[in-house]
Structure 1
Amino acid sequence: MIDVGALRALRAVAASGTLARAAEELGFTASAVSQQIKRLERQIGVPVLAQAGRGVVLTPAGQAVVDSAPEVFQALERCAEAAQSVSEGAPRGTLRVAAFSTGIRGLLAPAVARLSTRCPDLRVLITEQDPDRALHSVDTGTADLALVHDADGLPAPSPPSLTRRHMHTDIGDVVMARAHPLADVARPLTADDLAGHAWVTSPPGTVCHQWFRRLFADARAEPDVRHLVDDFATQLSLVGSGAVIALIPRLARPPLGDGLLARPLRRQPTREVHAAWRHSADASPAIRAVLAELALEHLPRGRVSGRGGGPLVQ
């Protein structure tokens, strides 16, 4: 009988290319992963890995095992779901969730807080991962559920083993000090309104920087970027000085307090947030419970009002 842990270890090695990276993904030492692979080779009677420079590659037999592994894991998962259904489908046990940082802050944290009361036997473990890595973790079985966002309007490609569901649309607003000249504009802001003002932005390569560049795509002059900062709390500290403004997604934004306000844009930048899980876990009471909480309507923080009747999102 093939050991399931050893099978999972081989699949992780196949995906990562080295024992060290597979061990990091699985939370083991490289020595432990090596022992699991050797145990698997003893069980099936043939080598499954071969050295290739500083890394390893699958032997033909190892590739055949990895190709068959998804069916094994799906069968085991269906077995577990059947047992949970027999026990009235109550969410219980541990659910491992991989998610991007602002999704954790704006969506998962409130959901987990509600679940702790509604489902006391369910333990949710959250790991921060970028969308591509989160989807990989669910596909390989090191996570049960992923929360991911699209990149520049394009969703991260999902393995065929996963189910995806749209959960939320995140929106970006311009945040400024209440004394800033734009605070008196009693309508959604346009690119012309924003021209000539100084900014703090997220670094290149981030979704928020793509949003920022798109705001000024047709501008004749380059925007005045004073600071490149990845942490949104730090951006807000700089905005509080009154010298700069920032484009910040609502999921990333804590309550602004009395000194700051957020103005909507006429052409609102958005990103779509999806949940993803393995097809074989469709019936999971734990996943269904988390999805139900994530699907609840998320209202804007604070009130919506403004000076002179203009919109103000706090």
Structure 2
Amino acid sequence: MIDVTALRALRSVATLGTLARAADELGFTASAVSQQIKRLEREVGVPVLAPAGRGVVLTPAGQAIVDTAPSVFQALEHCAEAARSVADGAPSGTLRVVAFSTGVRGLLAPVVPALSTHAPELRLHISEEDPEQALRSVDAGTADLALTHDADGLPVALSPSMLQRHIHTDVGDVVLHRSHPLAELDRPLAVSDLAGHAWVTSPPGTVCHQWFRRLFAGAGVEPDVRHLIDDFSTQLSLVASGDVIALIPRLARPPLREDLLSLPLKRAPKREVYAAWRRSANASPAIQAVLRELSKTDA
């Protein structure tokens, strides 16, 4: 009989291309993953991997195994979830959740107290991962639930073996010092209001920098960017000086000091946040308990 751990290792190698990357994702050493693959080859009687440069590729036999692996994992998970459901339906055990950093701050952390009250036997294990990695972790079985956001307006591709639900719409606001001239405007800000003011913003390559550039796209205005800072708390410390303003997502924003003010935009940048999990785990009382609490965050 094929060992499930070895089967999971092969699928991870197939996705990531090297034993080392698969080992990092699965929490094993590269040597341990290699031994699992060798054990799988002994069990099926044919090679499943072949060297390719510095990485490896699947043999036809290996590809056939990987193609059928999802149905194996789903069947096993259906068995486990059926057992949990018929017990008493109460959420219990450890639920492994992976999420982007501001999703942890703005969505997961706030629901932990309610979960402690409503599901005292449930323990969350939260890890920070970007959306693509988070979905891979859930699909590979190394995590149970992922929080993701769309990338530049496009949702991250979802495996057919997974389900997702819209959880939240995150919006960007302008944050400034109460002494700043824009603080006198008692209305949502237009792009024309922002011309001529100095900024601190997130570095290129981040979602928030994309938001910032898109805000000025087509406006014929080149923003005066004084600082590039990835940490939002540090951005706010510079905003508190009164010299710069910032565009900050609401999920990422810590409580504002009394001398700071948040103003909405007429055409505010947005991103959609989703929860994703394996279809085979849909009956999980733990997953459903977390989804119920998360659904209240956008009420």
Shorter chain as denominator, the TM-score bin is: over 0.9
* Residue number in structure 1 paired with 2:231: 231
Give the Cα separation in 1 of the matches to 2:187 and 2:283. 46
Cα shift at 1:127: 1.3
Which 4+ residue blocks in structure 1 deviate beyond 3 angstroms? none
Q: What amino acid sits opposite 1:104 in the alignment?
A: V
* Residue number in structure 2 paired with 1:170: 170
* Residue number in structure 2 paired with 1:240: 240
Alpha-carbon deviations, 1:103-137, whole Å to 9, x = none? 00000111223212221221211111111111111
How do 1:296-311 residues align onto structure 2 when only pairs under 5 Å count? 296-298=296-298
Cα shift at 1:298: 4.9
Q: What amino acid sits opposite 2:61 in the alignment?
A: A
* Residue number in structure 1 paired with 2:190: 190
* Residue number in structure 2 paired with 1:287: 287
Give the Cα separation in 2 of the matches to 1:297 and 1:58. 43
TM-score with structure 1 setting the length: 0.92
* Residue number in structure 1 paired with 2:10: 10
Q: Determine helix, strand or coil for the equivalent of 1:238.
A: helix
* Residue number in structure 2 paired with 1:27: 27
Q: What amino acid sits opposite 1:125 in the alignment?
A: H
Cα shift at 1:220: 2.3
* Residue number in structure 1 paired with 2:214: 214
- Paired residues, number: 299
* Residue number in structure 1 paired with 2:132: 132
* Residue number in structure 1 paired with 2:40: 40
State the identity as a percent.
75
* Residue number in structure 2 paired with 1:99: 99
CA RMSD of aligned residues (A): 1.2
Cα shift at 1:187: 0.7
* Residue number in structure 2 paired with 1:154: 154
Cα shift at 1:36: 0.9
Alpha-carbon deviations, 1:148-197, whole Å to 9, x = none? 01122211111111111100011110000111111111111111111100
Give the Cα separation in 2 of the matches to 1:220 and 1:85. 59
The verdict on how the C-alpha distance between 1:172 and 1:39 changes in structure 2, with shifts beyond 3 A counting, is same
Give the Cα separation in 2 of the matches to 1:213 and 1:18. 36
Give the Cα separation in 1 of the matches to 2:2 and 2:32. 17
* Residue number in structure 2 paired with 1:68: 68
Gaps of 5+ in 1: 300-314
Alpha-carbon deviations, 1:12-55, whole Å to 9, x = none? 11111111100000011011111111111122222111222221
Structure 1 window deviating more from structure 2 (64-73 vs 120-129): it is: 120-129
8 A Cα contact 2:95 2:286, kept in partner = yes
* Residue number in structure 2 paired with 1:307: none
Q: Determine helix, strand or coil for the equivalent of 1:189.
A: coil
TM-score with structure 2 setting the length: 0.97
Cα shift at 1:219: 2.4
Alpha-carbon deviations, 1:256-288, whole Å to 9, x = none? 021211001111211110111111111111110
The verdict on how the C-alpha distance between 1:218 and 1:54 changes in structure 2, with shifts beyond 3 A counting, is closer
Q: What amino acid sits opposite 1:296 in the alignment?
A: K
Q: What amino acid sits opposite 2:210 in the alignment?
A: Q
Cα shift at 1:221: 3.0
Q: What amino acid sits opposite 1:11 in the alignment?
A: R
Give the Cα separation in 2 of the matches to 1:100 and 1:192. 32
* Residue number in structure 1 paired with 2:118: 118
Q: Determine helix, strand or coil for the equivalent of 2:297.
A: coil
Q: What amino acid sits opposite 1:211 in the alignment?
A: W
Give the Cα separation in 2 of the matches to 1:231 and 1:159. 32
Q: What amino acid sits opposite 2:243 in the alignment?
A: A
Give the Cα separation in 2 of the matches to 1:5 and 1:111. 33
Give the Cα separation in 2 of the matches to 1:47 and 1:212. 51
* Residue number in structure 2 paired with 1:303: none
Gaps of 5+ in 2: none
Give the Cα separation in 2 of the matches to 1:157 and 1:185. 41
Give the Cα separation in 1 of the matches to 2:227 and 2:143. 36
8 A Cα contact 2:167 2:298, kept in partner = no
Give the Cα separation in 2 of the matches to 1:51 and 1:298. 49
* Residue number in structure 2 paired with 1:312: none
